[in-house]
Amino acid sequence: MMYQRAEVERVLPYLFDPIAAYGIKSEVYVEDGMPKGYSDPSHGNSVFASLSDVRRAWKEADLSLVERQAVFMRFVLDDTYEDAGKQTGKQKSGARKATERGVGKVTAWLNGEPYVDGYDSMPELAAA
């Protein structure tokens, strides 16, 4: 499975919440009264597996302290880039870059690839 940046960003807010899986709505959720079809568990929603994988990547990926702080403030605390920049002693643009690099490094680690700046915008990686 190849991870996309958006999928990583979707679960980052739940990174440090031990019961987060109970609060994430499954994409295949069927409301009461709606018809239900046959479902194959092997093709089910992977949001819970993604959360587990991202938690491991957070521990294992080679993020700098500033990148960890910026990602944490932006996605877990839901701070703005401006607030994250103030807390890390950076400008708004520096906080944005540190956040993007941090998410990129986590995504690259999950995909078993080395991180390079612009990871998500590289044409050969985007086509994969």
Report CA-CA distances (Å) from 69 to 7, 27, 35, 86: 20, 30, 45, 11
pLDDT given for residue 25 in this prediction:
55
CA distance 105 to 3: 12
Give per-residue pLDDT as tens, 13-60. Answer: 988 887 766 655 555 555 566 565 555 545 545 777 888 899 999 999
Give the global pTM: 0.74
